Structure formats: C-alpha cells, structure tokens
C-alpha cells in the first residue's frame, strides 16, 4: 500500500466522513473505493475508444441490415 496526503476542502471532508460512517466504512476505504471507481470508469472509456477505432463502417452496416425490420414490442 501507498500512503498519500490529499488536501480537501472542509465541506468535502465532512461529507465523506458522513457517507463513510453511513456505510460503516473508514474514510480511507471510502476514498480508495471512489478512486477505484473513477479509475475503472476512465479505463472503460479508453477501452471503448480503442475498440471503436478498430471498427469498420461496412461491418456495422452489414450487421445492421441483418436485423429484421419489425415494429417494437411496445408499438404492437
């Protein structure tokens, strides 16, 4: 593990303490979880951008044409 000093506005720190207590976890656990969630979100966006860059419009159009043209279940 690595120790990290983070400066937070008092209002943010107070809200983190409040939410951590509500979930019965420590402030450290709350912040580690929040950082991990943000990391996962950013890595997902990076992955999707990489996958999109490899996509081919012709393949997309071919798959889209294979979908039957039927009314949506709610429209029936």
* Structure confidence by residue, pLDDT tens digits, 28-66: 999 999 999 999 999 999 999 999 999 899 999 999 999
Q: What is the C-alpha separation between 76 and 70, in angstroms, rounded? A: 10
How many helices (H) and strands (E) would you count in the chain?
Answer: 3, 0
pTM above 0.75, yes or no: no
């Amino acid at each position: 593990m690595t120790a990290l000093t983070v400066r937070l506005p008092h209002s943010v720190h107070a809200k983190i303490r409040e939410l951590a207590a509500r979930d019965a976890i420590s402030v450290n656990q709350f912040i580690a979880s929040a950082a991990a969630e943000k990391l996962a979100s950013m890595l997902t966006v990076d992955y999707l951008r990489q996958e999109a860059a490899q996509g081919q419009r012709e393949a997309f159009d071919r798959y889209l044409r294979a979908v039957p043209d039927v009314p949506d279940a709610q429209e029936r």
